[in-house]
Amino acid sequence: MAKRILITGGTYGIGAGIARHLADEGATVVVAARSANADAPAGVTFIQGDVASAAGARAIADAALDLLGGIDVVVNNAGGTRVYPAGVAAIEADQWQAALDLNFLSAVFVNERLIPAMVAQGSGSIIHVSTAPARAPLGFLLHYAAAKAALATYSKGLALELAGKGVRVNTVTPGLIRSPGSDRSRQEVADAAGFDPAAMVAGIPLGRAGQPADIGEAVAFLVSDRAAYITGVDLAVDGGLNPAV
C-alpha cells in the first residue's frame, strides 16, 4: 500500500491501531495528536497539534501536506468526550460545543485543506471514525453521540459531492473496542449504574470485545483499491452488537 496517509488522534487506542496496520502494509503514515504516546507505532511521523480548533485542524493538515508532498488518505479519527452518568441534564453547556469541535468540526476543517489536493490528483480516500452511540444514543453521552451523528451525515453528503472527482468518503463505526479511553469511559458508566462492565462484553454476538487492530483492518480495506467501488457507506465493526436492517 504505497499511500500517503494522515491519521488524526493517531498516537493511542484505535488511532494507533489504524496507524500500525497501515504502516505495516507499506503506507507512509503521519499521525497527529496533542501529545506523543507510548502506543504510537514505530515508523510513523508525529505532528503535534490540536484539531479541536479550526486553526489547529488546518495547521495539522497543512503540515501533513508539506511532510508527505501530497495526500492519498485522511483518517479523521480524533475524538473523545466526558461521560455524564447523571444523564443529559447534567451535561454542561460548554461541553456541547466542545463535543462538536472535537468530534465533528475537526474533520470538516482537516478535509477543507486536504480535499483540493485529492481532487487535483483525481484520487483520494477519506475515512471518518464514528461511534456506536451515534446509532443508539444514550443520555449520558448525548453530546458525543449527536456530534458523531453529525459527522456520519456530513460523511454521506461529502461522498456524494466528491464521487465524480475520484475521491471516496466512508465512515467506520466501532463498537466496544478495548482501548484506554474507551475502557475508562465504560468503567465510569458502570460505576454510576452499578453493573459490571463485563456484562457489556457478554452481550456481543461474536463473544469478545474488539481490538484496535480490528478497526485498522476495516480502514485498510476501505482505503485500498479493493474498495474502489465503495463510497458513502457507514461500516459497523462491532461484533454484531448493533444489528440493523
CATH no. for residue 10? 3.40.50.720
Asked whether residue 161 is assigned to any structural domain, the reply reads yes
Handedness of CA 230, 158, 96, 35 (dihedral sign): positive
Asked whether residue 187 is assigned to any structural domain, the reply reads no
Asked whether residue 106 is assigned to any structural domain, the reply reads yes
- Cα 131 from chain centroid? 8
Report the pLDDT value the prediction gives residue 203, as an integer from 0 to 100: 85
Give percent helix, percent strand, percent coil of the chain, each to the nearest 5.
50, 15, 35
Asked whether residue 21 is assigned to any structural domain, the reply reads yes
Residues with catalytic function: 144
- Segments of the chain with pLDDT less than 50: none
CB atoms within 10 A of CB 160: 11
d(CA 38, CA 33): 13
Task: Summarize pLDDT for 99-137 with one digit per residue, the tens.
Answer: 999 999 999 999 999 999 999 999 999 999 999 989 989
Residue in this structure with the C-alpha cell 475524538, named with its chain if needed = 79
Asked whether residue 189 is assigned to any structural domain, the reply reads no
Length of the chain as a residue count: 245
Report the pLDDT value the prediction gives residue 103, as an integer from 0 to 100: 98
Nearest Cα residue to 144 out of 197, 103, 187, 194: 103
pTM of the predicted structure, to 2 decimals: 0.94
Report the pLDDT value the prediction gives residue 150, as an integer from 0 to 100: 98
Asked whether residue 199 is assigned to any structural domain, the reply reads no
Q: How many domains does the chain have?
A: 1
Q: Which domain holds residue 68?
A: 4-176+211-237
Asked whether residue 242 is assigned to any structural domain, the reply reads no
H-helix or E-strand spanning residue 8: strand 4-8
